[in-house]
Chain A
Amino acid sequence: MKRLSSPIELEELRQSIVKSRDPKKTIVSICGGTGCTALGSGEVIKAFREELIKRDLADKIEVKVSGCRGFCQHGALVTIEPQSIFYQRVRTKDVIEIIESTLLKGQTVDRLLYHDPTVTGQFVHEEEVPFYAKQKRLILANSSKIDPKRIEDYIFFGGYGALAKALYNMKPDSIIEEIKASGLRGRGGGGFPTGRKWESTRKAQGDLKYVICNCDEGDPGAFMDRSLMEGNPHSVLEGMIIGAFAIGAQEGYIYVRHEYPLAVENATIALQQAEENGLLGDNILGSGFNFRVKVSRGGGAFVCGESTALMASLEGKVGEPRAKYIHTSDSGLWGRPSNLNNVETWANVPIIINNGAKWFSGIGTADSKGTKIFSLVGKVRNTGLVEVPMGITLREIIFDIGGGIQGNRKFKAVQTGGPSGGCIPEKLLDLPVDFDELTRVGSMMGSGAMIVTDEKNCMVDIAKYYIGFLKGELCGKCLPCREGVKRMNEILTRITEGNGKMEDIDLLEQIAATLTETSLCGLGQSAPNPVVSTLVHFRDEYEAHIKEKRCPAKVCKALITYNISEKCLNCGLCVKACPQGAITPVEKKKPVVLDQSKCIKCGSCLDACKLQMVEVK
Chain B
Amino acid sequence: MKLTGKQIKAKLEAIVKKYNNDSSMLVPILQDTQTEIGYLPKDAMIELHEMLNVPLTQVYSVATFFKAFNLIPRGRHQIFVCTGTACHVRGSERILETFERELNIKAGESDKDLNFTLGTVNCVGACALGPIVIIDGKYNGEMKIESVKPLIDKYRNTLETERGTQH
Interface residues of A (CB under 8 A from B): 34-35, 37-39, 72-73, 75, 217-223, 226-227, 258-261, 296-302, 313-319, 334, 375, 377-379, 383-384, 415, 418, 449, 451, 453, 457, 462, 465-466, 469, 473, 475, 577, 579, 602-604, 607-608
Query: Which one of B27, B121, B124, B126 contacts A316 once the chains associate, using CB atoms below 8 Å?
Result: B27
Q: Given that A299-B69, A313-B27, A318-B61 are contacting pairs, would A226 and B89 also be in contact in the complex, using a CB cutoff of 8 Å?
A: no
Query: Which one of B23, B31, B90, B129 contacts A258 once the chains associate, using CB atoms below 8 Å?
Result: B31
**Stretch among B2-10, B109-117, B140-148, B154-162 lining the A interface:** B140-148
A72 contacts B137, C-beta separation under 8 Å: no
- Could you list some 23 contacts between A and B, CB below 8 A? A35-B128, A39-B129, A72-B128, A73-B128, A218-B123, A220-B84, A220-B86, A259-B121, A259-B122, A298-B27, A299-B30, A316-B54, A319-B66, A383-B86, A383-B127, A415-B85, A451-B86, A453-B89, A457-B89, A579-B98, A579-B101, A602-B101, A603-B145
CA distance A608 to B147 in the complex (A): 12
Q: Given that A72-B128, A220-B85, A384-B128 are contacting pairs, would A302 and B122 also be in contact in the complex, using a CB cutoff of 8 Å?
A: yes
- The interface size of chain B toward A, counting residues with CB under 8 Å, comes to 47
Query: Which one of B26, B91, B123, B137 contacts A221 once the chains associate, using CB atoms below 8 Å?
Result: B123
By CB atoms of chain A within 10 A, which of B23, B88, B140 has the most?
B88
> Chain A residues near B27 (CB, 8 Å)?
296-299, 313, 316
> Chain B residues near A73 (CB, 8 Å)?
128-129
**Which residues between 52 and 89 of chain B lie within 8 Å of chain A, taking CB atoms?**
54, 58, 61-62, 65-69, 83-86, 88-89
Query: Which one of B65, B125, B140 contacts A319 once the chains associate, using CB atoms below 8 Å?
Result: B65
**Which residue from chain B places its CB closest to the CB of A604 in the assembled complex?**
B145
> Chain A residues near B65 (CB, 8 Å)?
299, 301, 318-319, 475
CA distance A221 to B130 in the complex (A): 10
A221 contacts B128, C-beta separation under 8 Å: no
4 smallest CB-CB distances across A and B, nearest first, come from: A299-B66, A223-B125, A72-B128, A38-B139
B58 contacts A607, C-beta separation under 8 Å: no
> Chain B residues near A607 (CB, 8 Å)?
144-146
B68 contacts A316, C-beta separation under 8 Å: no
A38 contacts B129, C-beta separation under 8 Å: yes
| A-B contact number at CB 8 A | 155
Interface residues of B (CB under 8 A from A): 23-28, 30-31, 54, 58, 61-62, 65-69, 83-86, 88-91, 94, 97-98, 101, 121-130, 132, 137, 139-141, 144-146
Query: Which one of A259, A313, A473 contacts B124 once the chains associate, using CB atoms below 8 Å?
Result: A259
Query: Which one of A34, A334, A377, A469 contacts B130 once the chains associate, using CB atoms below 8 Å?
Result: A377
CA distance A469 to B87 in the complex (A): 13
CA distance A99 to B19 in the complex (A): 48
CA distance A579 to B141 in the complex (A): 22
> Chain A residues near B125 (CB, 8 Å)?
34, 217, 222-223, 226-227, 259-260
B85 contacts A299, C-beta separation under 8 Å: no
By CB atoms of chain B within 10 A, which of A259, A317, A453, A457 has the most?
A259
CA distance A221 to B94 in the complex (A): 18
Separation in Å of the A344 CB from the closest CB of chain B?
A: 14
CA distance A584 to B141 in the complex (A): 32
> Chain A residues near B86 (CB, 8 Å)?
220-221, 375, 377-378, 383, 451
> Chain A residues near B61 (CB, 8 Å)?
318
CA distance A428 to B39 in the complex (A): 49
> Chain B residues near A258 (CB, 8 Å)?
31, 68
> Chain A residues near B146 (CB, 8 Å)?
577, 604, 607-608
Separation in Å of the A562 CB from the closest CB of chain B?
A: 13
Separation in Å of the B62 CB from the closest CB of chain A?
A: 6
> Chain B residues near A314 (CB, 8 Å)?
24
Q: Given that A317-B58, A318-B62 are contacting pairs, would A38 and B126 also be in contact in the complex, using a CB cutoff of 8 Å?
A: yes
